[in-house]
Chains A and B, each alone.
Chain A
């Protein structure tokens, strides 16, 4: 057993004695986990890199080494525009979401604004309304042709040209930024809460006004955390697929993710080019994640955490609190009420029509019946359920062992394991889908075109989430709890199953539920991996959209949102301990 430090050696000899008999079992499981994680995280990535240097092979001409993909991906004015668009979109989205989220965090944590209890409830909304439904609902609200807003302005104010155009960069930033704002809210709230309240109180006592305190003290102190939140949002923005695909592609406004989709789906598909785009995208996300992790680890200079448990007092912002509440309510309307209502409205129609008195006479539940009777509907739901539950279970169990290794042992090189399991953070969904697709097309082990490859994609994509949930609770398990079990003669496997896993339960359950919910709405990897016959829910919505079946889409969306909502409510009431939060 490798022992590096005197401190480590005591741990290991004591564990080693207790586990002498089941030595094999322990190392088999650990070894297996390492191999699986390495396989999952590295193989597709490596192959993607290789593929980006290969020319397109045909039956006659085998693939050869080439830089041509990169020349096309980076060397043309077209590709420069693509990069520029991607950065502009991601930057705008992150900035918009951050401004909203930070404002709400400050209002919620530091002021006496009414309706504050709603803020946290609102932060699970992006979980409940999948990106594709949110985007579609905003098309129904603000597209130049069918958008309700535009019709209202035309009918009421006689405007000739549509006022809002969702098919634009601004529209894309608006929709994605609104959707990501709760993530910013949660991240910044965490930073505000870890602040020593007396830092702000002493500014107040110095005579600074509430706004001066906010800008000169609170925001400045939270700055590293806010910057880190910005980078996280930026990476999310650049990985975003639904919004660019639905809002950008129709008007030729392409970003990397939609360009990859385009390259794969054009005829003949250009895998080399898609891979080169994917490499560019990976470069950006890696940089973002790298700086974000550096920021988070070097925050010590500004570390403002004290042992004091009481929250800072809230400031009375007078009449402004109604303005703050107003902005928040407006936000709720934009992000929940209107999207849901417009989908609900559409689902009650026979043919899609904007709300009007005339259309009110045509209400029917026919669309729901149609969806329920849709060929393959139950298969699709069943596929999604299998994938979500299977993926969540695999991820949480796998990462529990990995976290145990990285946190509870002193095995040299365990940081590599930690890094491998966190590596998928930099894979945009579409890049992950692409790399798995290429790899298993070339090395046919019979999983391409089955649910298994999608399961693999989900497991890879959500590994980092599992790591986060498990490591938080693993750190809290005192090592003596395990050691006393070992002294009682339990084998490693028994200790893990009877002691570690039960103690991890809150984290395990929270992560499991979170992964189930995000799996059900996963689109960007699935879109490149599904094949007819094994669609999942999000793909079915995508297909409805492509076929122009808006009514069915809306009915399906309403059912899905309601189901997810009920699922979360049931889970929350079953156990108050499993906080489901998106961070």
Chain B
């Protein structure tokens, strides 16, 4: 269990203007959960993570891990990073080039306060090396490992100390695409099995969606939304989140009317039905986010339903194997759509469009 309250971190280089890299960060992570900090480059994810690690000294706030306060500006408490017992995997892996694989993994046990016998250390290290399938290269020089192996060694080194918290800073970003998918899967499996409370930093939204129990999207040093992957994807709190989390169609409009649970919005592509939301009244300017995969296409007219129906003209289409991407003009507004390969309509022809009210996310304009 980790809780972060009102955390702010400022970088003050001598002679330079201070940089407020993380401001007023609040979140808490229940035991055993994987929590992701997601955001574009330079938004302060690493800063937040390093503040939790104790590698940066925050300017204010409280950080509690399992009910021990490791940082508190008011209480003037700052536990040194080497006393926090948090495992951390760095983006560069930081594998020590002057040690073997075994020595790298054994280091945390050799320097800890509680003295372990050589045999105990060996047993523990071999167990964790086996878990990341590196036990067969234990005597190898650590620099003679492949990228994926180095990444696993870094993980093993963080795990061997039985950390109270696992901190991961873009651990997959240095791997190629194939390996990244495989490691993502293994990382998830390991985290779930060990039940380790984990903070994960990434700028890759698909990684975040695939791994996390909960995601915090950051922008310019602030958290702009916290929620489950589904929440964030389906109900982005603002345009920044919707834009960042994936490609989407933004459609502006005015609320014309509706019932208790449905609203009718007048937009440039026509009338759209959307789920009602508290605080949005008739006459309000709104903005809707519709994912391309939620724009249903069909060659013939679909059966009538609660879906909003339109007809558009195909402007372009790209065949991607498992799906096709379409650009469609509807009343001179362009919509992006992702459809099943079975859709046959050619460029220039008319196509039928259906949009499920459930999938239209209403954003504050």
Q: Do chains A and B stick together as partners?
A: yes
Residues of A within 8 A of B (CB): 196, 198-199, 201-210, 212-213, 216-217, 220-221, 223, 301-302, 304, 306, 308, 313, 316
Separation of A223 and B97 alpha carbons in the complex (Å): 12
Separation of A302 and B98 alpha carbons in the complex (Å): 7
Which residues on the A side are within 8 Å of B161 (C-beta)?
206-207
Asked if A209 and B111 sit within 8 Å, CB to CB, the answer is yes
Given contact pairs A196-B92, A313-B55, A207 touches B98 in the complex (Cβ within 8 A): no
Separation of A196 and B91 alpha carbons in the complex (Å): 11
Separation of A26 and B80 alpha carbons in the complex (Å): 63
| Shortest distance from the beta carbon of B161 to any chain A beta carbon, whole Å | 6
Asked if A204 and B81 sit within 8 Å, CB to CB, the answer is yes
Asked if B97 and A221 sit within 8 Å, CB to CB, the answer is yes
Partner of A208, one of B82, B87, B98: B82
Which residues on the A side are within 8 Å of B94 (C-beta)?
196, 198-199, 201-202
Given A205-B81, A207-B83, A207-B161, 11 more A-B residue pairs with CB atoms under 8 Å apart are A196-B94, A198-B92, A201-B94, A202-B157, A205-B55, A205-B167, A206-B82, A206-B107, A207-B111, A209-B111, A221-B96
Which residues on the A side are within 8 Å of B85 (C-beta)?
207
In this complex, what residue of A is CB-closest to B113?
A207
Given contact pairs A198-B94, A201-B94, A209-B111, A316 touches B88 in the complex (Cβ within 8 A): no
In this complex, what residue of B is CB-closest to A307?
B92
Asked if B90 and A202 sit within 8 Å, CB to CB, the answer is yes
Q: Give the 6 A-B CB pairs with smallest separation, nearest first.
A: A206-B108, A198-B94, A202-B94, A208-B111, A198-B90, A205-B88
Show 11 residue pairs from A and B whose CB-CB distance is below 8 angstroms, ordered by the A residue: A199-B94, A199-B96, A201-B94, A202-B94, A203-B96, A204-B55, A205-B53, A205-B167, A207-B83, A207-B113, A302-B98
Identify which of A207, A304, A316 gathers the most chain B CB atoms within 10 Å of its CB.
Answer: A207
| Shortest distance from the beta carbon of B315 to any chain A beta carbon, whole Å | 42
Asked if B98 and A206 sit within 8 Å, CB to CB, the answer is no
Asked if A316 and B80 sit within 8 Å, CB to CB, the answer is yes
Which residues between 68 and 123 of chain B lie within 8 Å of chain A, taking CB atoms?
A: 80-88, 90-92, 94, 96-98, 107-108, 111-113
- B52-78 vs A, CB cutoff 8 Å, 1 = contact: the mask equals 010110000000000000000000000
The answer to whether the Cβ of B143 comes within 8 Å of any Cβ in the partner chain is yes
Which residues on the B side are within 8 Å of A308 (C-beta)?
92
| Shortest distance from the beta carbon of B327 to any chain A beta carbon, whole Å | 38
Identify which of B92, B143, B154 gathers the most chain A CB atoms within 10 Å of its CB.
Answer: B92
Given contact pairs A196-B92, A304-B97, A313-B56, A206 touches B157 in the complex (Cβ within 8 A): yes
In this complex, what residue of A is CB-closest to B141?
A301
Asked if B86 and A205 sit within 8 Å, CB to CB, the answer is yes
Residues of B within 8 A of A (CB): 53, 55-56, 80-88, 90-92, 94, 96-98, 107-108, 111-113, 143, 154, 157-158, 161, 167
In this complex, what residue of A is CB-closest to B85?
A207
Which residues on the B side are within 8 Å of A316 (C-beta)?
80
| Shortest distance from the beta carbon of B63 to any chain A beta carbon, whole Å | 15
Which residues on the B side are within 8 Å of A204 (C-beta)?
55, 81-82
Q: How many A-B residue pairs have CB under 8 A?
A: 78
Asked if A202 and B56 sit within 8 Å, CB to CB, the answer is no
| Shortest distance from the beta carbon of A321 to any chain B beta carbon, whole Å | 14
Which residues on the A side are within 8 Å of B107 (C-beta)?
203, 206, 208, 216
Which residues on the A side are within 8 Å of B98 (C-beta)?
220-221, 223, 302
| Shortest distance from the beta carbon of B164 to any chain A beta carbon, whole Å | 12
Separation of A201 and B96 alpha carbons in the complex (Å): 11
Separation of A304 and B167 alpha carbons in the complex (Å): 23
Separation of A328 and B213 alpha carbons in the complex (Å): 52
Asked if A306 and B55 sit within 8 Å, CB to CB, the answer is no
Asked if B97 and A301 sit within 8 Å, CB to CB, the answer is yes
Separation of A204 and B85 alpha carbons in the complex (Å): 10
Which residues on the B side are within 8 Å of A206 (C-beta)?
82, 107-108, 111, 157, 161
Which residues on the A side are within 8 Å of B56 (C-beta)?
313
Identify which of A202, A210, A217, A223 gathers the most chain B CB atoms within 10 Å of its CB.
Answer: A202
In this complex, what residue of B is CB-closest to A196?
B92
Asked if B92 and A205 sit within 8 Å, CB to CB, the answer is no
Which residues on the B side are within 8 Å of A202 (C-beta)?
88, 90, 94, 96, 154, 157
| Shortest distance from the beta carbon of B84 to any chain A beta carbon, whole Å | 8
Identify which of B86, B94, B158 gathers the most chain A CB atoms within 10 Å of its CB.
Answer: B94
Which residues on the B side are within 8 Å of A216 (C-beta)?
107, 111
Separation of A212 and B83 alpha carbons in the complex (Å): 13
Which residues on the A side are within 8 Å of B112 (C-beta)?
207
| Shortest distance from the beta carbon of A14 to any chain B beta carbon, whole Å | 38
In this complex, what residue of A is CB-closest to B163?
A205
In this complex, what residue of B is CB-closest to A202?
B94
Which residues on the A side are within 8 Å of B88 (C-beta)?
201-202, 205
Separation of A207 and B111 alpha carbons in the complex (Å): 6
| Shortest distance from the beta carbon of B220 to any chain A beta carbon, whole Å | 19
Which residues on the A side are within 8 Å of B158 (C-beta)?
205
| Shortest distance from the beta carbon of A309 to any chain B beta carbon, whole Å | 11
Separation of A199 and B154 alpha carbons in the complex (Å): 11
Separation of A306 and B95 alpha carbons in the complex (Å): 13
In this complex, what residue of B is CB-closest to A199?
B94
In this complex, what residue of B is CB-closest to A205?
B88
Asked if B90 and A201 sit within 8 Å, CB to CB, the answer is yes
Partner of B97, one of A208, A213, A302: A302
Identify which of A198, A206, A217 gathers the most chain B CB atoms within 10 Å of its CB.
Answer: A206
Which residues on the A side are within 8 Å of B90 (C-beta)?
198, 201-202
| Shortest distance from the beta carbon of B159 to any chain A beta carbon, whole Å | 11
Which residues on the B side are within 8 Å of A199 (C-beta)?
94, 96
Separation of A210 and B88 alpha carbons in the complex (Å): 17
Identify which of B88, B113, B158, B161 gathers the most chain A CB atoms within 10 Å of its CB.
Answer: B88
Given contact pairs A202-B157, A212-B111, A316-B80, A217 touches B96 in the complex (Cβ within 8 A): yes
In this complex, what residue of A is CB-closest to B53?
A205
In this complex, what residue of B is CB-closest to A206?
B108
Separation of A306 and B93 alpha carbons in the complex (Å): 12
Asked if B91 and A207 sit within 8 Å, CB to CB, the answer is no
Which residues on the A side are within 8 Å of B92 (C-beta)?
196, 198, 306, 308
| Shortest distance from the beta carbon of B354 to any chain A beta carbon, whole Å | 49
Given contact pairs A221-B96, A221-B97, A313-B55, A205 touches B82 in the complex (Cβ within 8 A): yes
Separation of A306 and B56 alpha carbons in the complex (Å): 20
Separation of A220 and B103 alpha carbons in the complex (Å): 14
Identify which of A205, A212, A308, A316 gathers the most chain B CB atoms within 10 Å of its CB.
Answer: A205
Partner of A301, one of B87, B91, B111, B143: B143
| Shortest distance from the beta carbon of B36 to any chain A beta carbon, whole Å | 19
| Shortest distance from the beta carbon of B34 to any chain A beta carbon, whole Å | 19
Which residues on the A side are within 8 Å of B53 (C-beta)?
201, 205
